[in-house]
Every structure is written in structure tokens, then in C-alpha cells.
Amino acid sequence: MHAGVRRMSKRETNRLRCDFSPDKARYDRNAAILYASGHRPKRRRVRTLVEEMKITIRRENPTQQDVVALIAASDAYLRALYPPASNHLVDVDGLASVDTVFLVARRSQSALGTIAFRVLEPGHAEIKRLFVSGQARGFGLGRRLLAALEDAARRQGITRLSLETGIRQPEAIGLYRSAGYLECQPFGAYKPDPLSLFMSKRIIEPA
């Protein structure tokens, strides 16, 4: 610790650490204070916050060239895990249909992740195409995409979101469970499949 710098109390330190806001000016100020007082924020926490500050999630057209490439990467990943009969992929044309909302996560101009929902019936929609590129994993982007999609669904009057995922994707299953999704029976046109797991969540409770 530098000579002449007052050692901060534990309470002061914790308050600053809890206030690592995405607001860049406040983030830089708090980091500088902590470093000057001899405290070192965890490197992963600092790195994660810096990355989060740079990422935006918006509704976009899935036919853009860089987004098509990301969808192709998602296809390749899933085809390496499951046989064709157990892969329920929605193509670019389907994602661009009027009954589908498609979101893209970007850092600067680079597409890093996608997620979508398509309406099955009034108030009920299915989650599709949650995918995060390899370079963007480890920063909680999948959780941010899921939260953004739920917000978009609520704005359109969707009360329940359902999904199909594969049993060979423990990270995805863990994400959905931690976000409140519960296992359910096959829905829509799906049939029982030993490689599939079906989940659902009510995102707006009945009045």
C-alpha cells in the first residue's frame, strides 16, 4: 500500500465493490479508489464488468451476413451432438417470419449471440436459437440474452415461454433451471424423444 494512503474500512470497501456499475465513469472512479487503498478487485469480476459494458442486445433481422454465420455455427454445434431426428432447428427464413422475435447480442459491430421466440398460440411462445459464440462465453451472456427475451415476450403479451433442449447440453439446462424453467411434457408438434428435455416458465402470473 502506498505511504500516506488511509486504509479503508471493510464497510467502505464492500460498498465500493457492490457499486461496480456499468456506468464507465463510476466504474473507473471506484476501481481507482480501491487500488489506491491497497484493495484489488477480483480480476474475473473486473473483466466481466468491462465486457458487459460493451455488449448490446437488440431486435435484428436474422438475414444479415454475420448473423447467418452465427446461426450456421449453432447448427454445426448441434449437429455434432444429436442425430437429425433430434435436431429441431429453425432456419433463417423461419426466424425472419412475422410470428418470431429475434434478438442479437453485439460488441461493437460483432455478433456474439442470438436468441428468439416464436408464438405458438396466444400467450404462449417457444424459445429458439439461444447461442453464444465461443469468444463470448464465460461472461453471463446467455443469461442476459434469456432475460432480454423474457422482457420482449412480456411486452407482446406472452405469459408462458416453453423450450426444447438436448440432454447433452448440461450448461444450457443449468441456465434454464436457474432462471426458473421447469420440466414439462412435449408441447406443440413435439413428440417424446429420449434426447430431448422440455421446459416451461410462466413469465406473467394471471391477474
The pLDDT value recorded for residue 44 is: 53
> Is pLDDT above 80 for 11?
no
pLDDT at 19: 43
Give the pLDDT band (50/70/90) at residue 50. very low
**Residue of 207 and 134 predicted with greater confidence:** 134
Q: What is the DSSP letter of 185?
A: -
- Where along the chain do the CATH 3.40.630.30 domains lie? 55-202
Crossing angle, helix 43-54 and helix 24-36, to 10 degrees? 160
CATH number of 55-202: 3.40.630.30
Q: What is the pLDDT of residue 92?
A: 97
Between CA 153 and CA 159 the distance in angstroms is: 8
Identify whether the C-beta of residue 158 lies closer than 8 Å to the C-beta of residue 125.
yes
Residue with cell 442425430: 83
Q: Which residues contact 67 (CB under 8 A, 6 or more apart)?
A: 60, 61, 104, 111, 114
Q: Is the pLDDT of residue 18 over 50?
A: no
Distance from C-alpha of 31 to C-alpha of 29, rounded to nearest angstrom: 6
pLDDT at 67: 97
- pLDDT, tens only, 96-141: 999 999 999 999 889 999 999 999 999 999 999 999 998 888 889 9
48 vs 114 pLDDT, higher one: 114
In tens, the pLDDT along 139-195 reads 899 999 999 999 999 999 999 999 999 999 999 999 999 999 999 999 999 999 999
Q: What is the pLDDT of residues 22-41, one digit of tens each?
A: 444 554 555 555 455 555 54
Q: What pLDDT is stored for residue 2 in this prediction?
A: 42
Instruction: Report how far apart, in Å, the C-alpha atoms of 179 and of each of 7, 15, 105, 143, 174 are.
Output: 39, 27, 19, 8, 9
pLDDT at position 71 is: 97
- Is 169 exposed, middle or buried (CB count within 10 Å of its CB: 0-12, 13-18, 19+)? middle
Tell me which residue of 55, 53, 58 sits closest to 148, measured CA to CA: 58
Task: State residue 144's pLDDT score.
Answer: 96
> If pLDDT is split at 50, 70 and 90, which confidence band does 3 have?
very low
Which run of H or E residues covers position 134? none
Per-residue confidence (pLDDT) for residue 22, from 0 to 100: 45
Contact 130, 95 (CB under 8 A): no
Predicted local confidence at residue 207, as pLDDT = 62
